[in-house]
Amino acid sequence: MIASNLDYHRATFRWKCEGLSEAQLRRRAVPPSELTLLGLMRHLQGVERHWLQRTLAGTTPAFPPYKTYVTAAGDEWYDDSDPTPAREVYEDYVRACQESREVFARATADTARIVPNTEFGATDVRFVLEHVIEEYARHVGHADLLREAIDGSTGE
């Protein structure tokens, strides 16, 4: 059920990005927010690789060297001035999702297993899965607003 929920959010996010130009994917469409669909895409590939692959599966995923900056709140975020073409970012995001699917069953077999977590302290697998679903749900909502502001498309 969790795997299908994640796939639903992944598919919805991809749908929000479909058919848009490079410029549209990079557009900050909801001022004063600096969020872009391309920035969210970079972030979600990081979510896949950090939480599902590294934290739960114990792999050492390859993170692309996308340009980042530190926000006023001290968080690191992907810089939209990164020159990586949107098509490459999209392919990387799809690849990150597939890599996560490949380790999911093994990584989540024991949901009570405790995993180290520098952000939240030691947590169980269930907590991490809930966090990833929450992260996707929040950012799919952002993507919905961005897409509507870009071309009026709504739904899901």
Chain segment 71-127, per-residue pLDDT in tens: 888 888 888 889 999 999 999 999 999 999 999 999 999 999 999 988 889 999 999
Residues forming a β-bridge with 77: 69
Say what the pTM is. 0.93
Say whether pLDDT at 156 is over 80: no
Question: Are 22 and 85 in contact, with CB atoms under 8 Å apart?
Answer: yes
Q: How many helices (H) and strands (E) does the chain have?
A: 5, 4
SS3 115: strand
Q: Which tens digit of pLDDT belongs to each residue from 38-67?
A: 999 999 999 999 999 999 999 999 999 999
What pLDDT shows up at residue 13? 98
Residues 6+ apart with CB under 8 A from 91: none
pLDDT, residue 81, reads 87
Instruction: Evaluate whether 53 touches 99 at the Cβ level (below 8 Å).
Output: yes
